[in-house]
């Protein structure tokens, strides 16, 4: 059973704070990990991907991967109200060409 | 700009009346996907084409069919839409098992 778990939220943070979004996955052989942002009524937009253990930074976003713990996270620094959206974690599991999505975490950034 | 295009953006149909949704891409990606997404749920993969090879998810209803006449285009046919088929339909593309890029989606309403 392929599973990707996320806390549905909402996660509420004040403007300027660090938002931390978490995701766990069931398949130890998973190889690729993606974070998508989805605004209400819109399609998912890719914001980060990570393949190796450790941190990957892109602007205000940092993805963190710990394969031993089967855990991937997304940190958003200096959160802005425009970051308010649902963040979807997606995992490419070994032997599959497709992605398994979590249900997403809703982030609310208050001014 | 290279992109994924979906038409129409909004589709209203009657119960049982066939409908076709279209997707085109200028990314020259070899894999195309169709997802169904209902409110507050994860995108659910219906099927995908890896090059010319069609891959149907085990739980995709027979009511849903797909065609990929060439690399750039993919169609989703819903033969007899039911009320439960009302959803956002998302097309995505990727190069092999890499990151997926989504089109804007088609919002389907069934009356």
Q: What are the pLDDT digits (tens) for A12-29?
A: 999 999 999 999 999 888
Tokens at B41, concatenated: 């749920």
Which residue of A32, A97, A101 is in closest CB contact with B43? A101
Question: In the prediction, which pLDDT does B97 show?
Answer: 83
Q: Which residues, other chains included, contact B84 with Cβ-Cβ below 8 Å and sequence gap of 6+?
A: none
Inter-residue contact A87 to A104 (CB < 8 Å): yes
Inter-residue contact B6 to B106 (CB < 8 Å): yes
Tokens at A22, concatenated: 């978490």
> What pLDDT digit, counting tens, does each position of B29-88 carry?
999 999 999 998 999 999 999 999 999 999 999 999 999 999 999 999 999 999 999 999
Q: Nearest 5°: CA angle at B4, between A4 and B62? A: 60
Give how far B79 is from chain A: nearest CA, Å: 24
Q: Kindly determine whether residue A43 and residue B88, on different chains, have CB atoms separated by under 8 Å.
A: yes
CA distance B100 to A28: 21
Q: With an 8 Å Cβ cutoff, is A49 touching chain B? A: yes
Residue A1 has pLDDT above 70, yes or no: no
Q: With an 8 Å Cβ cutoff, is B21 touching chain A? A: no
Which residue of A34, A96, A97 is in closest CB contact with B99? A34
């Amino acid at each position: 059973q392929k599973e990707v778990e996320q806390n549905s939220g909402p996660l509420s943070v004040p403007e300027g704070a660090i938002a931390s979004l978490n995701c766990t996955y069931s398949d130890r052989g998973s190889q690729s990990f993606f974070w998508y942002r989805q605004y209400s009524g819109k399609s998912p937009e890719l914001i980060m991907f990570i393949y190796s253990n450790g941190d990957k930074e892109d602007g205000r976003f940092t993805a963190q991967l710990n394969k031993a713990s089967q855990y991937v996270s997304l940190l958003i620094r200096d959160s802005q109200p425009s970051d308010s959206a649902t963040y979807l974690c997606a995992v490419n599991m070994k032997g599959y060409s497709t992605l398994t999505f979590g249900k997403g975490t809703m982030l609310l950034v208050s001014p | 700009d290279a992109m994924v295009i979906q038409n129409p953006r909004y589709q209203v149909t009657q119960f049982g009346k066939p409908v076709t949704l279209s997707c085109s891409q200028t990314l020259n990606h070899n894999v195309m996907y169709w997802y169904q997404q209902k409110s507050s749920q994860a995108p659910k993969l219906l099927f995908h084409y890896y090059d010319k090879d069609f891959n149907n998810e085990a739980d995709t209803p027979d009511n849903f069919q797909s065609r990929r006449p060439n690399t750039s285009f993919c169609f989703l046919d819903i033969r007899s839409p039911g009320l439960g088929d009302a959803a956002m339909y998302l097309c995505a593309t990727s190069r092999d098992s890499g990151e997926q890029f989504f089109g804007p989606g088609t919002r389907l309403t069934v009356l």
